[in-house]
Amino acid sequence: MTSYRATFCPDCGDKLESKWFDGRDRSYCAACARIIFQRPIPCADVAVMDGKHVLFIKRTNAPHIGKWALPGGVIEVGEPPAEAAARELHEETGLDITPSTLTLITGYAAAAPQGWYNAGYTYAVQFEDVSGEPTAGGDASDARFWSLNELRGSEQELRPEPNDALHIRAAINEFRTSNG
């Protein structure tokens, strides 16, 4: 089992072949007679909302180097998703949040250009419920709030990834509904 598209067997090291199994083409080791399943990388993101603004970080690591994205990252082994979201928010922005304060907005799955897949959770929180001021850290070179108008503009510097745009809309809808 691997998160990356394997070319060699993780057990014996032989080159993998392709084999049709369970309705799809899979990586197969003829020497071990074993299907090598590709697993998604679990992630957690946070949409921090401040009125009509959303917090974004500018990424310094792959994938999407130099792009603006919601703060978030990989869930560690044994780490609950909300705790991972709170940890990643702190690492990338310096903001602190109690995981129980986060509102689960949506789950997602996405393919990355490197041949691996991620699946995860997006949480939302009002800025008034976090402590600290946004400061870039970890794998973020910048952290700032963008207005919803900037997000909608056609000439903007920020062009959220399609998943981020969906998560932001879901967060806005959640807070509109919960606030009447």
User: Is residue 142 within 8 Å of 136, Cβ to Cβ?
Assistant: yes
Which pTM value belongs to this model? 0.77
- Express each pLDDT in 136-149 by its tens digit: 998 899 999 988 77
| 153 or 122, which is more confident | 122
Looking at residue 72, its pLDDT comes to 92
- Express each pLDDT in 100-135 by its tens digit: 999 998 877 666 655 666 788 999 999 999 999 999
- Express each pLDDT in 66-84 by its tens digit: 888 899 999 999 999 999 9
Rounded distance between C-alpha atoms, residue 37 and residue 98, angstroms: 35
Rounded distance between C-alpha atoms, residue 7 and residue 28, angstroms: 9
Nearest to 113 by CA among 164, 174, 62: 62
Nearest to 123 by CA among 80, 58, 167, 159: 167
User: Is residue 114 within 8 Å of 150, Cβ to Cβ?
Assistant: no
Confidence of residue 155 (pLDDT cuts 50, 70, 90): very low
Rounded distance between C-alpha atoms, residue 72 and residue 93, angstroms: 10
**Of 61-70, 130-139, 166-175, where does mean pLDDT reach its minimum?**
166-175
Percentage of the chain modeled with pLDDT above 90? 44
Looking at residue 40, its pLDDT comes to 79
Rounded distance between C-alpha atoms, residue 54 and residue 126, angstroms: 9
Looking at residue 62, its pLDDT comes to 74
The full set of domain ranges for the chain reads 1-39, 41-178
Looking at residue 25, its pLDDT comes to 86
Report the alpha-carbon angle 112-116-119, nearest 5: 80
Tell me which CATH homologous superfamily contains domain 41-178: Nucleoside Triphosphate Pyrophosphohydrolase (3.90.79.10)
Mean pLDDT score, 83-106:
95
Mean pLDDT score, 32-40:
87
Give the burial string for 38-75 (b: 16+ CB within 10 Å, else e).
eeeebbbbbbbbeeebbbbbbbeeeeeeeebbbbbbeb
